Amino acid sequence: MGRLEGRVALVTGAARGIGLAAAERLACEGATVVATDVDAEAGRAAADRIGATFLRHDVADEAQWQAVVAAVRERHGALHAVVNNAGIEGDPEAAKDPEHAPLADWNRIFAVNAGGVFLGCKHTIPLLAQSGGGSIVNVASVATLVPTPFITAYGAAKSAVVHLTQSVALHCAQAGHRIRCNSVHPGQVNTPMLQGLFARFAAQAGVSAEAFGENFRQTIPLGAYQEPADIAAAILFLVSDESRYVTGQALAVDGGYALAH
């Protein structure tokens, strides 16, 4: 029997990358998974592959959060785990440093990466509590642990997620909801988002993406990029009963990157 047998889990941003890996891992452990993403075509394909239910979902839209939670309640009658994973890098053409970054890009990044997590917590807490409790895992970033002037808004938004996670954890404990809330902090994970980021930085530096990636790899103490499955394993731990007394904590899965910077 899997560690999540009989439980219902909601995973946002599940079309690819960390979200897909998490949805797949939770499903393998017996969970009934509801996968959401703003990309309907990729999301449906991913959900079909892992045997999950798919719902199109813009996490920055409060009405869509209400609709998603209502659909989970109607179809499954309960909810036991929430993985707030959906996130964006922002406009790839926009400056990202604190001197030149446009406010519109900052606001959009915050709307998705911080606002989307807030809405996810706000609207799933009641159903989690009514289901007897559960676990919320908010996917943050190693960018909360080191300065990130090259992706200023991203790092700031993910840092907001850390404080929100602690507040949600304490609120739920004091309210007697039996809901735990923790954050996971991926380092440099081999995903399309990271590859796109490295390609842009490489172009700015006048080097190949391969050379840039190799140079960056050498700054990771464990000497390798993380894979989505590595983050999914951490999410599984925080969702499962193995972490039943863990709440309000930040778990870095970064190969030691933050230690060296």
Tell me which of 154, 225, 245, 257 is the catalytic residue. 154
Which pair of structure tokens corresponds to residue 89? 């890098």
CA 36 to chain CA centroid, nearest Å:
12
Let me know: does 35 contact 60? Beta carbons within 8 Å: no
**How far apart, in whole angstroms, are the C-alpha atoms of residue 248 and residue 165?**
6
Kindly compute the dihedral angle of the four CA atoms of residues 94, 99, 105, 106, in this order, to the nearest 10 degrees: 150
The question of whether 154 is a catalytic residue gets the answer yes
Helices 152-175 and 116-130 pack at an angle, to 10 degrees, of 20
Let me know: does 31 contact 50? Beta carbons within 8 Å: no
Which pair of structure tokens corresponds to residue 80? 């036991």
The catalytic site residues sit at 154
